[in-house]
Amino acid sequence: MEQEKNLLLKSSMVYGLVMGSYWIFKYIFFILSVSYPSITFVYWGLTLSVPVILYSLMKHYRYYRNNSIRFFEAWGLGVLTFFFSALIISLLHYFSTAISHRKTLSQIQ
């Protein structure tokens, strides 16, 4: 049982890194869509593909579990994957907001 929890946590950390990297890539298109409105379609396409990516990551996890996974284990994997990816993307949002506010403050003075 303990080994299963360790595998779930380690897998969700790795998958969170993958999903967080994807969200960083997606965030670049969000920033570009402010200047180029046609890129908004690319951003929304990337956003709609997030569940597909999570599904493929869960299938990958199921493969390592000998093709058996319980519903609540899959649910926990999804929640933890989004948690770790949110930690990664929140750092990017924090730094981009801080840089934006610094630029704004320097323009005011």
With b for 16 or more beta-carbon neighbours within 10 A and e for fewer, the 24-51 pattern comes to eebbebbeebeeeeebeeebeebeeeee
Least confident of 39-43, 94-98, 102-106: 102-106
Write the pLDDT tens digit of every residue in 59-75.
Answer: 988 888 888 888 898 99
pLDDT tens digits, one per residue of 8-29: 899 999 999 999 999 999 999 9
Cite the DSSP H helix spans in 36-70: 40-48, 50-64
What ranges do the domains of the chain cover? 2-108
